[in-house]
Amino acid sequence: MSTQQKILLVEDDPDLLRFADVTLRLGGYRVYTATDGLSALSAARKVRPTMMLLDLRLPGLDGWQVLAVMAEDPVLRDLPVIVVTATADAGSRPLTEAAGVTEYLVKPLSADALLAAVERVLSRPRQRVPKRRP
């Protein structure tokens, strides 16, 4: 994959952040990181990534709040989002889909699963994301 593909990785767990960062870089992506919701939104506006990997449980603004802000932001509302979360309960997946999330990955995850999800999302034609309703 081209290094022109920019991915914003939003994760507060340092071990998972390092793992995903290295995995994505080895996969040929340009990776930007944030460890909380506010810095994620700031980085997304500045960097204009191709996609975002977003943890739901973050300090400050959590992932749900990040999605709500993105829904109202004309610059960010169509950004593809892969949620990467430890929350695997039956109610979370439908809520993320209703919020316009493109993919949903449950931690822990393998490097292969992460790269496969990113490649699936990036290979899809860009289309307007449904209005996010977290």
Tell me the per-residue pLDDT of 54-91, one tens digit each, with 9 for 90 and over.
Answer: 999 999 999 989 999 998 999 999 999 999 988 766 56
Q: What is the pLDDT of residue 133?
A: 47
Q: What is the mean pLDDT of residues 109-121?
A: 95
pLDDT > 70 fraction of the chain, expressed in percent and rounded: 81
Contact 74, 99 (CB under 8 A): no
Distance in angstroms (rounded) separating the CA atoms of residues 48 and 103: 19
Tokens in use for 6? Answer: 């920019």
Give me the residues paired with residue 33 across strands.
9
Q: What is the pLDDT of residue 9?
A: 98
- Residue 37's φ and ψ, nearest 5 degrees, are -65, -45
Q: What is the mean pLDDT of residues 105-129?
A: 85
C-alpha torsion 54→56→62→65, nearest 10: 80
3-state secondary structure of 122: helix
Residue 100 has pLDDT above 80, yes or no: no
Tokens in use for 131? Answer: 């209005």
Cα distances (Å, whole numbers) of residue 18 to 10, 22, 57, 76: 11, 6, 17, 25
Distance in angstroms (rounded) separating the CA atoms of residues 85 and 11: 9
Closest CA to 118 of 31, 14, 18: 31
pTM for the predicted model, two decimal places: 0.86
Distance in angstroms (rounded) separating the CA atoms of residues 6 and 47: 8
Instruction: Between 92 and 76, name the one with better pLDDT.
Output: 76
* All domains in the chain, ordered by first residue: 6-123 (3.40.50.2300)
In this prediction, residue 102 has a pLDDT band, given cuts at 50, 70 and 90, of confident
In this prediction, residue 36 has a pLDDT band, given cuts at 50, 70 and 90, of very high
